Amino acid sequence: MKPLLDVTDLVVRHGDRTVVDRVSFRVDAGETLALIGESGAGKSSTALAVLGLLRPEPGSSVRFDGRETVGLSGRQMRGVRAQFQPVFQDPYGSLTPRKTIGDTITEPLRVHRRPVAGRAAELMELVGLDPALADRLPHELSGGQCQRAGIARALALGPRLLVLDEPVSALDPSVRSGIVNLLTGLQDRLGLGYLFICHDLPLVRHIAHRVAVMAPGGRVVETATAHALFTAPQDPYTRDLLAAAVHHARPTV
């Protein structure tokens, strides 16, 4: 089966520093691939390059449904980009402060000249938001509601893949599980592929099908099913990362 997203030898540089170093992975339809690794390992740079928001180095390949996206013009990229959409960490920051929730959610439809009528309510229902909130501004909503709106906006164009960069880490623990359940439910219903960047290893273990581990310097040191990775990590870096997470999770007395 052709992967939905096929990344091969991705290299990203900031100035003369290589922060993503020949990274390769794939994401299939209906699958969650988690990208884990300590802060600064290059996970967000990978996500931005996949989304076409950072230009990777020559020789990098990001294929979406078999089509190469590296080197596409802005206009060509816009057509492909409808199929893969980002959801970022900060639920307030990813919405426009002075735009109503309804307008924000339907903005991608206007940009792509698609019909808008009735879509805000449909999309809001899809993510468990009361359509009566469509006229509110972001600051009038809770963090969890804002993140639901961000997900609705990401779904507006009917994408097949979501790039989720820490989508629940800024949220209050009490609303996190609601968003996680929403994401897993949407994946089941819509067959979405997820590239899921996350520091919360118990959550990764819970929702990822496969996991790629990035080490500082931007290399992927290990890719495995979530079960294999958490029960029998092969690379010393992965073992240290998992051990550090257990250590941090230990209650202090």
Full DSSP string of the chain: ---SEEEEEEEEEETTEEEEEEEEEEE-TT-EEEEE-STTSSHHHHHHHHTTSSPPPTT-EEEETTEE-TT--HHHHHHHHTTEEEE-S-TTTTS-TTS-HHHHHHHHHHHTT---TTHHHHHHHHTT--GGGGGS-GGGS-HHHHHHHHHHHHHTT--SEEEEESTTTTS-HHHHHHHHHHHHHHHHHH--EEEEE-S-HHHHHHH-SEEEEEETTTEEEEEEEHHHHHHS--SHHHHHHHHHHHHHHSPP-
Q: Does 145 bind ligand ATP (CB under 6 A)?
A: no
In the complex, the smallest distance separating the C-beta of residue 42 from ligand ATP, rounded to whole angstroms, is: 4
Q: Which is nearer to ligand ATP, 12 or 123 (CB)?
A: 12
Residue placing its CB nearer to ligand ATP in the complex, 98 or 248: 248
Q: Which is nearer to ligand ATP, 53 or 111 (CB)?
A: 53
CB of 52 to ligand ATP, least distance (A): 15
- The token pair that represents 109 in the structure block: 């439809």
Tokens representing 152 are 């609705």
Shorter beta-carbon distance to ligand ATP: residue 55 or 99: 55
Give me the least distance between CB of 227 and ligand ATP, in Å please. Answer: 24
Binding residues for ligand ATP, rule CB under 6 A, total 10
- Footprint on residues 35-94 left by ligand ATP (CB under 6 A): 37, 39-45
Q: How far is the CB of 35 from ligand ATP (least distance, A)?
A: 8
Q: Shortest approach of ligand ATP to residue 44 CB, angstroms?
A: 3
Query: Is the CB of 37 or the CB of 150 nearer to ligand ATP?
Result: 37
Cα 46 from Cα 215, distance rounded (Å): 13
> Least separation, in Å, of the C-beta of 3 and ligand ATP?
22
Angle at 195 between CA 249 and CA 67, to 5 degrees: 165
Measured from the CB atom, the residue of 100 and 147 that comes closer to ligand ATP is 147
Q: Report, in Å, the least distance between residue 69 CB and ligand ATP.
A: 19
By beta-carbon proximity to ligand ATP, the closer residue of 156 and 215 is: 215
**Among all chains, which residue has been given the structure tokens 């990978």?**
46
Annotate each residue in 3-42 with x if it binds ligand ATP (CB under 6 A) or - if it does not, as one string. Answer: -----------x----x-----------------x-xxxx
Per-residue contact flags (x/-) with ligand ATP for residues 162 to 191, judged by CB under 6 A: ------------------------------
- Residue identified by tokens 């790629």 is 212
The residues that touch ligand ATP, with contacts defined as CB under 6 A, are: 14, 19, 37, 39-45
